[in-house]
Structure 1
Amino acid sequence: MFDEGQLYSPVTTGEDGTVEVHLADNHPGLHDPAYRARRSHIAAAAINAPAGTVPVIDYTEDEHRIWRLCQEQLAPKHEKYAHSEFLAAKHRLRLPTDHVPQLDQVSARLRPLTGWGYRAAPGLVPLREFYADLGARTFNSTQYLRHGSEPLYTPEPDIIHEVIGHGNQLASARFARLTEAAGRASLRLETEDAMKFVADVFWFSMEFGVIKEHGEVKAYGAGILSSFGEMDEFGHMEHRGLDLADMGTLAYDITEYQPVLFCAESLDELDDVVGAFFDTVDDDLTECLRARAAHR
């Protein structure tokens, strides 16, 4: 099941206003004081930014190097593994390949395409707040980059995941509409169980969704398409048909490659099943779907 706290390193603010990011014991940057300080500095910028503004981060040459490497390594895999809808959106958005863009710059490219924009987050954004913002076409994004010792891996969402994965996805009108619908759905839900159910369907669609195209299974999920390793593995995993009861209740581990993925037969089926679910879901429907899954 989805656990909102496990995706991000906790961020705390001391009584003196000092912001600190707490990395997990297995984080590549745990024993790098300079990286930890940098993470805390970037988190503090988001926390202390005036309302309605996005802080400008003065990225270092090493951070630009990581972005360049990831763009260079991910691009040929996108051409091979990504669905054409994602590729067309990526080509329209035209993210820079030689430097880390500022979130406001990404927003300026996205808004004319689909009306979406970015807001800076220090780390975890509470689930309901995150989804409510999706319903207003606003994506809360971190601004830090992964540790330089493992530039093609991150244990948590960084700006490469948030922008190369979700930003390119949000440049598609169809994927942007699905994401907005998931956000609007959250406003109809009263229970936390229902909220978690919707978040899990989102996980298995907009994060780790796959779809058939010309007889091949292609990826459209941002979690796959921002991960160098995941793109090599997703084709070998178990692919199930779109089943909302299964998608909303299947247990999974975010620290491992996803062993089970849900495959749409087409973009139209994705809209008809997942899109219709986001458009109409309420607490009663999630309870019915949970009960259906429990009795299988």
Structure 2
Amino acid sequence: MFEEAQLYAPVTRSETGEATVHLDHDHPGASDPEYRARRNALATLAMEWQPGDPIPVAPYTDAEHEVWRVVCRELHRLHERHASALYLDGKQRLRLPEDHIPQLSEVNQRLRPLTGFGYVPAAGLVPLLQFYGSLADGVFHSTQYVRHHSVPLYTPEPDVLHEVVGHGNCLAHDRFARVYRSAGEAARRVETEEALEFISKVFWFSLEFGVLREKGEVRSYGAGLLSSYGEIQQVADADLRPLDVARMGVQTYDITHYQPILFCAEGFGEVENVVGGFFDEVDDDLVQRLAHAASTPA
């Protein structure tokens, strides 16, 4: 795990335009020069990409395609047991290939006709306003690298499996897509960093790590859970709390560990009403009121 709890490895760029991805010393690919070279090359391609340009082609290896196959096979089994019905519906609509890592352009060909969403490449961390704001336009910033082949069922950072298997299958369903777009509109509406951070935490505890009840069982609908072989199986051990955007917006979290606190909805309709409703109405004043309410003892 990253010692400084960095969600994405830092990326720097030289004067000649070449990118360097700074993997932590205990990252599974840190001592693999070929993997590091591919990560640097992909980061360079993403940084050079401009809106309107074709999506750059990622040069995946046979070992990386095998990682995709292994993870998709294992997640498929877990999705049938732990994923929400709406996610499974989106997955059926999108029909991602499971025998190779699809290029983002291939994903876009499948996704855009369904909900209008499409992917664009990202080298790593994208500024909050840019990332969330772009959702309003149906644009999702995605990394293209894949986790190291030595540990296919683990990644210390979001990779293309998280972006495409986790988020892509959600974005393929109209009801999910509407909530994502509302999150983007919310990010553009607020003016303060505090409000934007509040929105990002509500997004984190819903569209990344959200769970809900279906037919008496707790199921996952958040992309962070649905793309994690380990964490999706640990939901039963979490402290499940009612859906409450005030609490979600101030709740701290540690990305280097499984989330000990999750907010559970009574069906996706409540996600749309509570989380989607918050995104539809939020402004800086509302964030201030909610943050104050969450910090006031009952």
Distance (Å, rounded) in 2 between the aligned partners of 1:58 and 1:238: 41
Q: Which residue of 2 aligns with 1:257?
A: 258
Q: Secondary structure at the match of 1:28?
A: coil
Q: Are the structure 2 counterparts of residues 30 and 278 from structure 1 closer, same or farther at C-alpha, using a change threshold of 3 Å?
A: same
CA offsets per residue over residues 65-110 of structure 1, 9 Å max, x none?
A: 0000010110010000001110011011000000000101111111
- Between 1:274-283 and 1:50-59, the stretch displaced more is 50-59
Q: Secondary structure at the match of 2:150?
A: coil
Q: Secondary structure at the match of 2:120?
A: strand
Distance (Å, rounded) in 2 between the aligned partners of 1:160 and 1:42: 15
| Structure 1 counterpart of 2:49, one-letter code | A
Q: Which residue of 2 aligns with 1:174?
A: 175
Q: Which residue of 2 aligns with 1:213?
A: 214
Q: Which residue of 1 aligns with 2:284?
A: 283
Q: Which residue of 1 aligns with 2:64?
A: 63
Distance (Å, rounded) in 2 between the aligned partners of 1:266 and 1:234: 16
Alignment of 1:21-100 (within 5 A): 21-53=21-53, 54-100=55-101
Q: Which residue of 1 aligns with 2:19?
A: 19
Q: Secondary structure at the match of 1:248?
A: helix
Q: Are the structure 2 counterparts of residues 95 and 14 from structure 1 closer, same or farther at C-alpha, using a change threshold of 3 Å?
A: same
Shift of 1:272: 1.0
| Structure 1 counterpart of 2:156, one-letter code | P
TM-score by structure 2 length? 0.96
Q: Which residue of 1 aligns with 2:137?
A: 136
Shift of 1:35: 1.2
Contact kept, 8 Å, 2:17 with 2:44, in 1: the verdict is: no
Shift of 1:51: 3.4
Distance (Å, rounded) in 1 between the aligned partners of 2:271 and 2:11: 36
| Structure 1 counterpart of 2:62, one-letter code | E
Q: Which residue of 2 aligns with 1:267?
A: 268
Shift of 1:18: 2.1
Distance (Å, rounded) in 2 between the aligned partners of 1:225 and 1:76: 11
Q: Which residue of 1 aligns with 2:123?
A: 122
| Structure 2 counterpart of 1:87, one-letter code | L
| Structure 2 counterpart of 1:118, one-letter code | Y
Contact kept, 8 Å, 2:11 with 2:124, in 1: the verdict is: yes
Identity of aligned residues (%): 54
Q: Secondary structure at the match of 1:110?
A: helix
Shift of 1:34: 1.5
Shift of 1:194: 0.2
Distance (Å, rounded) in 2 between the aligned partners of 1:243 and 1:48: 41
Shift of 1:58: 2.5
Shift of 1:25: 2.7
Contact kept, 8 Å, 2:69 with 2:100, in 1: the verdict is: yes
| Structure 2 counterpart of 1:257, one-letter code | Y
Distance (Å, rounded) in 2 between the aligned partners of 1:50 and 1:192: 26
Shift of 1:50: 4.2
- Between 1:278-287 and 1:7-16, the stretch displaced more is 7-16
Q: Which residue of 2 aligns with 1:243?
A: 244
Distance (Å, rounded) in 2 between the aligned partners of 1:184 and 1:108: 25
Q: Secondary structure at the match of 1:274?
A: helix
Distance (Å, rounded) in 1 between the aligned partners of 2:24 and 2:129: 24
Q: Which residue of 2 aligns with 1:191?
A: 192
Q: Which residue of 1 aligns with 2:226?
A: 225
Distance (Å, rounded) in 2 between the aligned partners of 1:18 and 1:81: 42
Distance (Å, rounded) in 2 between the aligned partners of 1:19 and 1:89: 35
Distance (Å, rounded) in 1 between the aligned partners of 2:248 and 2:25: 30
CA offsets per residue over residues 12-48 of structure 1, 9 Å max, x none?
A: 1111222100012321111211111110011111112
Distance (Å, rounded) in 1 between the aligned partners of 2:184 and 2:283: 13
1:110 aligns with 2:116: no
Q: Secondary structure at the match of 1:123?
A: coil
Q: Secondary structure at the match of 1:262?
A: strand
